[in-house]
């Protein structure tokens, strides 16, 4: 029997680390989804299928810009010494995934914007002049296939980097045994891809409805008109099914890795598998986020049931829960 006691009681640290609250999981979730959007969008561009009316892919970059901004917003909210945020960009710290991330974010932004520029919307609520100018640039860009290819490649690469980095960020923090695995990179990438696919799928689903109302008319109306629901929806379903399957496989590998490492790592894995976080992990991440959508989507694809928004919503819930639980449980895991 070992009886341990300590008189340390630092806020955010004791009794178990809880330095990161909601902001980081939200950021990781959004960042992952953006990574997925980048990869899907980039892939699409590279394949040359840049017809703006074809499907949902072209909207990936637009959605990406919005989500990335939101994600960076939460990241900023998490910083406790906000006025010094510019310090990130006076240096590059090769051993710090956070530094890599800061620069990746900076590079991903123009890639996304350029990708968006390839398919500008037909109307925007205000700023027709800007839109007109954008369309000029868009035309200019699209006339240069090499450049388009480069943009596609940049998106793909940026997406993979962003996706992997969000995992590596946690994985490199060796002090938290739950995170202590390089496989977190691919896990987050594939989880990001699945949520991105789900998001695009949702978009296409939504666009099937006649969007009415003032705001919708102004922005979304135009927006959704451009989507080809059928093709997009189907492709997204297929993509998501494979992403989810891979994600499940990686998750199994990660947990197996922990279970076969030291007792400290075993204890960390137990937090998810049988400990305090197990109910949430099993219910939200595995059942809600992976198994159920897989099941439904398989049924949908084989035509057994009607397409619904349900699997996409579940995948997104699962993707968010994964980050949330991982960030919370990981902090409490310790040597």
Binding site for another protein (CB under 8 A): 1-14, 17, 19-20, 78-82, 84-85, 87-88, 90-91, 93, 95-99, 101-102, 169, 172-176, 262, 264, 331, 334-335
Token representation of residue 99: 């530094």
Shortest reach from residue 309's CB to another protein, in Å: 36
Structure token pair of residue 115: 């990708």
How many CB atoms neighbour CB 163 within 10 A?
28
Cis peptide preceding 140, ω within 30 of 0? no
Rounded-to-integer distance, Cα 245 and Cα 190, Å: 9
Contact 203, 59 (CB under 8 A): yes
Q: Which is nearer to another protein, 156 or 272 (CB)?
A: 272
**Smallest distance from another protein to CB 180, Å:** 10
Residue 61 CB, shortest distance to another protein, in Å, is 26
Q: Closer to another protein by CB, 13 or 252: give it.
A: 13
**Which is closer to another protein, CB of 184 or CB of 197?**
184
Residue 296: CB minimum distance to another protein, A: 36
Task: Provide the minimum distance between the beta carbon of 168 and another protein in the complex, in angstroms, as a whole number.
Answer: 11
Specify the DSSP class assigned to residue 68.
Answer: H
Give whichever of 99 and 298 is closer to another protein, judged by the CB atom.
99
Q: Which is nearer to another protein, 5 or 302 (CB)?
A: 5
Compute the distance between CA of residue 128 and CA of residue 131 in angstroms, rounded to an integer: 5
Instruction: Provide the Cα torsion 252, 258, 259, 265; round to 10°.
Output: -150
User: In the 8-state DSSP scheme, what is residue 122?
Assistant: S
Asked if 179 contacts 171 with a C-beta cutoff of 8 angstroms, the reply is yes
């Amino acid at each position: 029997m070992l009886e341990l006691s300590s008189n340390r009681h630092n806020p955010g640290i004791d009794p178990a680390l809880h330095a990161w609250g909601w902001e980081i999981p939200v950021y990781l979730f959004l960042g992952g989804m953006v990574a997925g959007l980048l990869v899907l969008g980039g892939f699409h561009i590279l394949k040359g299928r840049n017809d703006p009316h074809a499907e949902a892919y072209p909207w990936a970059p637009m959605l990406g810009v919005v989500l990335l901004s939101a994600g960076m917003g939460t990241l900023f909210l998490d910083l406790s010494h906000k006025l010094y945020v510019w310090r990130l960009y006076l240096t590059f710290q090769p051993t710090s995934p956070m530094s890599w991330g800061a620069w990746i974010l900076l590079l991903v932004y123009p890639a996304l914007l350029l990708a968006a520029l390839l398919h500008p919307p037909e109307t925007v609520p205000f700023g027709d002049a800007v839109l007109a100018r954008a369309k000029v640039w868009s035309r200019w860009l699209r006339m240069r296939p090499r450049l388009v290819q480069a943009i596609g490649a940049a998106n793909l690469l940026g997406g993979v980097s962003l996706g992997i980095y969000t995992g590596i960020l946690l994985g490199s923090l060796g002090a938290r045994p739950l995170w202590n695995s390089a496989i977190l990179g691919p896990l987050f990438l594939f989880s990001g891809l699945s949520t991105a696919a789900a998001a695009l799928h949702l978009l296409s689903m939504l666009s099937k409805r006649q969007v009415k109302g003032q705001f919708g008319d102004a922005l979304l109306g135009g927006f959704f008109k451009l989507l080809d629901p059928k093709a997009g929806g189907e492709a997204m379903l297929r993509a998501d099914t494979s992403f989810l399957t891979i994600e499940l496989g990686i998750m199994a590998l990660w947990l197996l890795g922990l279970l076969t490492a030291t007792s400290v790592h075993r204890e960390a894995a137990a937090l998810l598998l049988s400990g305090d976080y197990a109910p949430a992990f099993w219910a939200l991440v595995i059942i809600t986020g992976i198994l159920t959508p897989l099941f439904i989507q398989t049924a949908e694809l084989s035509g057994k049931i009607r397409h619904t928004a349900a699997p996409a919503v579940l995948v997104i819930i699962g993707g968010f829960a994964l980050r949330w639980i991982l960030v919370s449980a990981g902090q409490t895991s310790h040597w």
